[in-house]
Amino acid sequence: MDRMKCTIVDTSSSPYAKLKPVPLSAVKLKDVFWAPRIKTLREVTLLVEYEHLEKTGRIENFRRVARGDKNIEWRIADDSDVYKWFEALAYTLAYEYDEKLGEIADSVAKDIVSAQDKDGYLFTYYAFNKEARWRDLTRMHELYCAGHFFQAAIAYYRATGSRLMLDAAVRLADHIASIFGPGKREGVPGHPEIEMALVELYRATGSKKYLDLAKFFIDERGKGLVGGSVYLIDHKPFRELDEIVGHAVRSLYLNCGATDVYLETGETSLFETLLRLWYNMVEKRMYVTGGVGSRHEGEAFGEDYELPDTRAYCETCAAVANIMWNWRMLMATAEAKYTDILELALYNAALAGISLDGRYFFYVNPLADRGKHRREEWFGCACCPPNIARLLATVPGYFYSTSDKGVWVHLYAENTANIELENTSITINQYTKYPWEGEVELEVEPSKEKEFSIFVRIPGWCSEAEVSLNGKPLETKPVPGTYLEVHKTWRRGDRLKLYLDMPVVLVASHPWVLNHACRVAIKRGPIVYCFEQVDNRGFDVWDLIVPRDAKLEAFYTPELLGGVVVVKGRGYATDSSEWGNELYKGISEVKYSLKEVEFTAIPYYAWANREPGPMIVWVKCPLIS
């Protein structure tokens, strides 16, 4: 196969991008954490999802259209489920070509393109109803599905060199551009997504009309064209937004598109809005896991500090979107705070969305549960399974990028990366047991001696860090939450070593998060922990009290949950059974008896992979001494 450079977001020639992507095919993961997950993705998840897409008629719909069969079995956004899965498949082929997966991709690509109308239109539900097309942008997902098709087509083109889907994407984009735009029909998608896809299509083809159309859809939002609701982020113009609101996935996809437009145009008002929204989300509306969207009603962001645990929505798609947006903000700024949030959401909010065996999925991700919430094989609205698949397929592409100054190292895992920098090939071998240990060693092997900088990320969660070069400590003290620049003439065999202190810490939340009053969560490095009943026999984990001065120890347990670091300690447990059937008591009647207990916490992403039982992230702690 004539594979091209396959990048997640190609900002290579974007004039306002500070960083440029490294193709995901240039990074080969060899670690004990991500490499097995990508293997499971290839051997299990993609095939399981393919079976569901066939079983539920989603792929068959394209074939029905091609043969003129009007018996379309359709649920909202069904086409996009196929496209997201296909995008994951394409990225997987770019990372490492597999003949079986390649044959599936080629076959499904032909099925998809066969359903395209002569005028370029492609949406199976309205394939035989031309009068209904583009008439209900509020509820229907025509533009949303088109965006996902563009992304799938671009990924397939970059992964295999085949123009089959890319040419179809161009025809569909030209069809949409002939209908919408200045002087044409007004309108915006009820579900944003096409904006970022159009910018990526502009990057793939060089046709500026796609960039202009993406900007048009952002400019038109807030005029009430899709009802003017907060839910659809149509209540005010985008540049006037001062808080992150509405359907969480819609909101974050819109921000992705706006960031992409900024990367091409440099419009400061767009970026100023993005900063306001980012700070509002991170400082007041994001869970400790990096999950977003606190309300089941509307799958939406709540008010400031509205972060309930048992009824947290935290849709898996929203976690994926959070990662996508922060990656774009990182490309625009080269600031580590965006990588910190990307990493947080990646290891916690998003990864919880898929079971360890790659077969089952969460749509909703609560932070406390009584044992009733379990992953499922599939959903009627199946947006999350293929979305987590395409995220996992792109993980290798998040590790490195380049700039005019040198190479940037964003994430840590054992890997070998082959990076091109100004006509010089640079191999970086990364040795580490991250995220379980904080030691990272980078072996640098340029094809020839070359002067450049390596920027290594010092995570914001790390209070103490040390960096040495060829065995000698650097004079510059690393600052958490920044990139440390190491500039020199690099030679083969140079070694850069990081030690990132990774203690177990208790985390408290802002006092206005009412349900977290006098409660703490446990973090170690990038990992957020939870308590499952299966590890804590003899007391209910909802009754656990962790003292603020508890001695917490971390232990790697290779036999548990695919190999994890658990946190152990001693605390206390109340006996809630003393309340019987009483809901309220006078305070003078309340007499809690405490018993000392040993507790074990596991990574949040790994919960619900064993027998059902209560789970909780935020446990009681006497914060006032």
Q: Which residues have a catalytic role annotated?
A: 299, 383
Question: Crossing angle for the helix pair 208-220 and 248-265, nearest 10 degrees?
Answer: 130
DSSP for 426-473 reads EEEEEEE-TTT--EEEEEEEESS-EEEEEEEEE-TT-S-EEEEETTEE
Q: How many residues does the chain have?
A: 625
Eight-state DSSP code of residue 225: T
Closest CA to 289 of 624, 612, 606, 614: 606
With contact defined as beta carbons under 8 Å apart, do 186 and 223 qualify? Answer: yes
Beta bridge partners of residue 500, listed in sequence order: 465
Joined tokens for residue 493: 């065999």
With contact defined as beta carbons under 8 Å apart, do 145 and 133 qualify? Answer: no
Helix, strand, or coil (residue 93): helix
Where do the H-state alpha helices sit in 115-236? Answer: 142-160, 164-179, 194-205, 208-220
Q: Report phi then psi at 574, rounded to 5.
A: -85, 175
Rg (CA), the chain: 25
Question: Crossing angle for the helix pair 268-284 and 316-333, nearest 10 degrees?
Answer: 130
Burial of 97 (0-12, 13-18, 19+ CB in 10 A): middle
With contact defined as beta carbons under 8 Å apart, do 356 and 602 qualify? Answer: no
- Calculate the CA dihedral of residues 552, 556, 560, 562 and round it to 10 degrees: 130
- Please count the other Cβ atoms lying within 10 Å of the Cβ belonging to residue 515: 17
